[in-house]
Chains A and B, each alone.
Chain A
């Protein structure tokens, strides 16, 4: 099983700032099959990025994904008020599918 470790646990930023979230895998993720989800309080997760860098339908281009092997990054270029939430990575290259522990992006 691939273990995903996200850092930092909490990111305190102001609207308009750039957010950089990290996801590190315990072993190489095949074909860069790494996804990112956003979850707001009381809501289901929403798919943002899959295949490390492909934005899902309707996701604004301020969200960008990069990385390969064991190190992946989600970047939010300029934080909007609606972007403050918890973000999870998920590897979709091998079974069992696994998720990271999450990074909370909070308003500073």
Chain B
């Protein structure tokens, strides 16, 4: 049974870089069947797609965040990661990693989420 788990600091200072890792267990990240994505949700608000990556390293970003984000994959550790630069209070959110079906771009398995607060 595949599972995803986010990890990283829960508090980041304004203007700094938010860094999160998603560890995939119970299966290999190195598969052509899935892509791997990040989605965030500000407290009490809706969902926003951040970006998606394939195990080969090909990444696709939301244009609204593209200038500040980088998503990478480490197949040796079965992990993928998110970096978001120059954060502000508006980046305070629960960050979810999720598995995306290759053909249908929907997220069928999610991590539990990691709340990141941007504050000095």
Interface residues of A (CB under 8 A from B): 1, 33, 35, 37, 43-47, 50-51, 56-57, 88, 90, 92-93, 95-102
Contact = CB atoms under 8 A, between A and B. Distances in A.
Given A33-B105, A51-B104, A99 B47 contact: yes
A47 B106 CA distance: 8
A97 B47 CA distance: 10
Q: Is the interface of B mostly helix, strand, loop or mixed?
A: loop
Given A44-B111, A96-B63, A50 B46 contact: no
Interface string B60-71: 101110000000
B46 A101 contact: yes
A57 B1 CA distance: 14
B110 A88 contact: no
Contact of A47 (B48, B60, B108, B112): B108
A30 to B, nearest CB: 11
B113 A99 contact: no
A100 B46 CA distance: 7
